[in-house]
Homo-oligomer: A and B are copies of this chain.
């Protein structure tokens, strides 16, 4: 019943009836869906605001996503610009503030369809790197979209290694200007969003040259297009980078600078200044900028990564109780595919991961807030740990969620290949997060560097940060669990994850040490260990996820029904991880073959337990049909009718018969006399 309430505003073009195969899944639910929705939203008040926002956006035909899957890149871009500009009016009209609670719910509903995401980063970079004069000059204009900015850092030949960027900015004392140049093909700016066809300004990162000496990378505000007619500014070559997987709404662009002059005031000068005579002056600590990077990662996990896996689970699980295929029992009608163990084994670990990552986000936000408060007091002590944690968590969430979406998509069989399922576009969008905001392998190695350092400290008896406290406390031994039910004890599996992480980190730390002792240079030894170092960072992050999920359960001690379903998911997440990585857990015979066999059985038993709650658990995510935009996943479960109705609208069905006349008719004529 709660579930229906949660969706009362869903428009339902196919009528109010629900497919009985889906309807029955919503009978006799063992927990209150609405309560779980509130938990996921962070409180009933948030749920209320979210629904109000969604209802407003949904009721406005300007925001319809109906034809999205039929549009080409140019149409998607134009649509995004139109919606984004209209959205500004709408926000003003509704009185929704930039920093108000509505903002993130708008994003949840509209994100795939908006432009100007990098314009936000443009503003954030000015706020972070600019002086107060610079902020006062640019931010009011940018906030009202009187100018549109982009963040031009990445180059065609340079991504992760910022020191390798080639763009130059040379100070000309005579005119008090910086002269910006793109010295080679590989130096052109490439990928920035909003650059290709929209932006008027850019924060351009370039190597600063003063009197022929390089001072490293600095940010410059550059006008790149005319505000009057949008033509490229002098010395600027600019364009769109062309077709790509996903992000059709965004005009990722390229930018070539040839002797582009900007006034001295355009170097963002909060942390370093160029004096009129060309002298360089540093001021303050740039460490604080790490916070910006971290907060971007935290926000993207919360608003982009986890919600997209939620959507995919909703679509795949609802479809799997509507789709019937073959018989489970000979002579019976065809069975729901969700009743097959193999289908459960595909989908439920993804569902468990969504919930695991949801609670992980809460933890990450908490520790980030603590770090932020320390920093405000001038203490940077928590920064390395939070940086390492956020990097590792960015990797594990993006890897698991993008792989998970693809599992969900493929679990829908042929229909998962139809764009109308909604799943291909979710995958395209999500998998890119493995690369942007820090390429995952690069990030893992950053986390690994932190872990190796902490391991060394722990070995020397020094205190270590809390997330790696187990480096000091671990005692080698074997898993004590005997019976199947023992493996449902969080203490048992948390210890197992801890042991696994410690063993892998220690292994590679020792290898690294041995290589150096055997005469290898430090950098060479490091490179020979990077596969294992990356793995170490991953298994450490995996441990954090399991530990924080189990911890979160304690908060629901007074709500036994909610706690029970969440506990099942936590157990599943943890046991699936052991089942899928048994070798790690069998090191040093921590787990015996028998114990692993029992883990497997316990894990498989859990699939059948979660089966009963599967639909309510995705209903709790409370995505409206308009937001899901999936022919397979809508609340009423009328999958086949919707696929057919939507397909009929496809442009492939609205062509003249030119192809027939030109190419086929001349062939077919030959058959006329014979048939």
CB pair B159–A324 under 8 Å, yes or no, is: no
A147 CB contacts on chain B under 8 angstroms: 668, 671, 675
CB-nearest residue of chain B relative to A651?
B74
- Does residue A462 face the partner (Cβ distance < 8 Å to B)? no
CB-nearest residue of chain B relative to A162?
B326
Given A146-B670, A251-B652, does the pair A664, B81 have CB atoms closer than 8 Å? yes
Given A147-B668, A342-B441, A528-B341, does the pair A70, B653 have CB atoms closer than 8 Å? no
CB-nearest residue of chain B relative to A164?
B334
Binds B, one of A240-248, A351-359, A481-489: A240-248
Given A531-B604, A581-B583, A604-B528, does the pair A242, B667 have CB atoms closer than 8 Å? no
Interface string of A212-224 (1 = CB under 8 A from B): 0000000000010
A584 CB contacts on chain B under 8 angstroms: 582-583
- Does residue A197 face the partner (Cβ distance < 8 Å to B)? yes
- Does residue A188 face the partner (Cβ distance < 8 Å to B)? yes
Selected from B72, B145, B342, B435, the residue in CB contact (under 8 A) with A413 is B435
A667 CB contacts on chain B under 8 angstroms: 85, 144-146
Given A239-B648, A431-B410, A671-B147, does the pair A157, B664 have CB atoms closer than 8 Å? no
- Does residue A597 face the partner (Cβ distance < 8 Å to B)? yes
Binds B, one of A303-311, A382-390, A637-645: A637-645
A439 CB contacts on chain B under 8 angstroms: 413
CB pair B534–A670 under 8 Å, yes or no, is: no
- Does residue A160 face the partner (Cβ distance < 8 Å to B)? yes
Interface residues of A in 154-195 (CB under 8 A from B): 154, 156-161, 164, 185-186, 188, 190-191
Q: How far does the alpha carbon of A197 sit from the alpha carbon of B653 in the complex, in Å?
A: 8
Q: Is the interface of A mostly helix, strand, loop or mixed?
A: helix
- Does residue A280 face the partner (Cβ distance < 8 Å to B)? no
CB pair A340–B246 under 8 Å, yes or no, is: no
CB-nearest residue of chain B relative to A256?
B644
Q: How far does the alpha carbon of A83 sit from the alpha carbon of B78 in the complex, in Å?
A: 32
Q: How far does the alpha carbon of A164 sit from the alpha carbon of B337 in the complex, in Å?
A: 14
- Does residue A609 face the partner (Cβ distance < 8 Å to B)? no
Q: How far does the alpha carbon of A135 sit from the alpha carbon of B177 in the complex, in Å?
A: 81
CB pair A245–B197 under 8 Å, yes or no, is: no
Binds B, one of A58-66, A91-99, A373-381, A588-596: A588-596
Binding site for B on A (CB under 8 A): 69-70, 72-74, 77-78, 81-82, 85, 141, 144-148, 154, 156-161, 164, 185-186, 188, 190-191, 196-198, 200, 223, 227-230, 239-246, 251, 254, 323-330, 334, 339-342, 345, 410, 413-414, 416-420, 424, 431-432, 434-436, 439, 441, 445, 507, 521, 523-524, 527-532, 534, 581-589, 593, 596-597, 600, 604, 640-641, 643-644, 646-653, 655, 657-660, 662-665, 667-672, 674-675
**22 pairs across A/B with beta carbons < 8 Å?**
A78-B658, A85-B664, A144-B667, A146-B670, A157-B640, A164-B334, A188-B644, A190-B414, A200-B671, A228-B668, A230-B665, A242-B652, A243-B420, A244-B417, A329-B523, A341-B527, A410-B431, A414-B435, A417-B435, A528-B604, A582-B584, A583-B596
